[in-house]
Structure 1
């Protein structure tokens, strides 16, 4: 796998014009976005998209995008060369921005959090200098944290710069930011997952389709925490000159997860990153087999409507990472009664169906699964 994983680019699979008859599924309708926006639309929340930049295109209003910054390193032979943050030769960052705050015009997607602001942080992703993007991304993450970003979207990975990225992410978390990272699009290959998702507190995002089934290309593992739609969607194509339809993959899913967090935080501005993350995990559409989580979809499909419309989810302690291992206590010895232990209670089951079409997994089911008000354990690779 290279420095920047090529599979984490937005498009994966057949690309077709956005105006094609085979329109992508309306995932916003499934998520009840129109109803969500009556409660919260992301207003007051800044999402930093650390990526390939942003280019003004049909489908994204200028007022939805902040000036941002470019952290691209200039070539050795052009040390004074400048790169504006509002440029994007690849289109990946522009697509992520549109998935969050797009207005739905010109063939582009309608953003899930149209009232939020996106802070573009441009790196060398999508350019011949992409090998530098990891180190640049570390700078960009720190910039975002220092300049008001509540949510940081990382729809890419970089193995060689992980030693710089990890402390940068930890710095952002210390400033109160919530970080989302794409798991990767290697599920059909060697399933190499994103190291960034192993950082404690980072939400690793997998991709599902409109039926809440895992997208085959989605990488998976013990660091998958949540899933979001990542199948056919409008993406920038033809060197960022048009909108096309293609698999968005875990990149797109991560943008939707960031947008979901923006909706919840907009409605509850006094919550911390830990509390926002906790309610998103508690209210996710759990695996249909009754498990609390699986490596494919994590704790389930992200469902902000359950938080905003059904008022479900217990934010819990503001300073406790919901993915941190729970503290253990030594067992208290009990006298033997000589009787056979009672059979364990049957685990709460979930109704078979499409989790993010709302097969009631609100606070009642979450409590039945042992999630509500508890600390959820995520085992991290070291």
Structure 2
């Protein structure tokens, strides 16, 4: 991976009119829980932007006194997601889309040899976030083994008024394993696009894709979380930007509910080029919070009605992206330090056990 100083990623913030939006709202007053690998204090993220948070990791039996504080991150994935939302743009870091928001880091075993426990830890983390004031919960990862626990935790968070975003996955060129968390009713499944608004080939896609956001070349933590580099951010990064988009809208309209924030993001999304209402690659389109903040577009509608709680439009799934060059999904995920390899492994195991048919089903929207 080239150093960030040597290669500048596309300026997606300018395309999104971030500077203009920040004059209306910058995310202030909104807490985003990043349930991930933790957060490490690094150049580019101000400490005042990050709350104390909590760690869900259990110490190993042989080292019962081993602490795993939330403000640590072996892998750098959670730190990257945090910076994508609230980074200050210094020291090679990205400038966050919602710089006035607060991040609640909730640490799991992602990025460690204990990653097999991350699903159950994440479920506990979701409940913690909901109980401690998080309006938005960002899940830039997926797990097959703890699906029922995650489903229950997400429903609990929704009962507390939280809005949940989940990455679709980065295996669009492989087995296209979708993150099962995205199929839970009310969860916003996020796909990834590039700077031309074309879907990334590595982006997992399917009927549970609801929105998309930029996920191509971006500034991410690399080299075991010791530096900022430039690489594909994938659907993980896209999910962080979708969460940040929601934070901007909610900051401008603090009296809205999660359903209303989700509804206006869906209504104002950049719809597919073929004229369809949605497709399996980008869902209802790329998140465009500027439409809400600068153009006053979008009808928030009923506060207690899930905007996804309706029959999905019947349309032919979109064809594959038009790009002719893209790294294989597995290589891209590994390069960006994204924790989807074990998600894909879970899909293989589930298939071997005959579980895929019972787990990967059409999300009920009615």
Taking structure 2 as the reference length, the TM-score comes to 0.85
Deviations 1:272-323 (A, max 9, x none): 0000000000000000000000001000010000000000000000000000
Larger Cα-atom Rg:
1
Confirm or deny: 8 A CA contact 2:214 2:238 kept in the other structure. yes
The yes-or-no answer on 1:89 pairing with 2:74 is yes
Secondary structure (helix, strand or coil) at the match of 2:23 reads helix
Taking structure 1 as the reference length, the TM-score comes to 0.82
In structure 2, the gaps of 5 or more residues are 313-360
Confirm or deny: 8 A CA contact 2:185 2:364 kept in the other structure. no
Secondary structure (helix, strand or coil) at the match of 1:143 reads helix
Hey, what's the Cα distance between the residues in 2 that align with 1:139 and 1:79? 20
Mapping for residues 113-132 of structure 1, pairs under 5 Å: 113-132=98-117
Q: Residue 18 of structure 1 aligns with which residue?
A: 4
Confirm or deny: 8 A CA contact 1:155 1:251 kept in the other structure. yes
CA RMSD of aligned residues (A): 1.4
In structure 1, the gaps of 5 or more residues are 1-14, 328-377
Secondary structure (helix, strand or coil) at the match of 1:48 reads strand
Hey, what's the Cα distance between the residues in 2 that align with 1:379 and 1:312? 30
Name which of 127, 131, 135 aligns with 1:150: 135
Mapping for residues 302-321 of structure 1, pairs under 5 Å: 302-321=287-306
Name which of 224, 235, 242 aligns with 1:239: 224
Deviations 1:18-72 (A, max 9, x none): 001x311000000000000000000000000000000000000000000000000
Confirm or deny: 8 A CA contact 1:325 1:379 kept in the other structure. no
Query: Following TM superposition, by how much is the alpha carbon of 1:79 offset from its aligned partner in structure 2, in angstroms?
Result: 2.6
Name which of 262, 287, 309 aligns with 2:272: 287
Hey, what's the Cα distance between the residues in 1 that align with 2:229 and 2:33? 24
The yes-or-no answer on 1:259 pairing with 2:260 is no
The yes-or-no answer on 1:199 pairing with 2:184 is yes
Name which of 148, 167, 174 aligns with 1:163: 148
Confirm or deny: 8 A CA contact 1:67 1:85 kept in the other structure. yes
Hey, what's the Cα distance between the residues in 1 that align with 2:61 and 2:115? 15
Q: Residue 220 of structure 1 aligns with which residue?
A: 205
Runs of 4+ in 1 over 4 A off after TM superposition: none
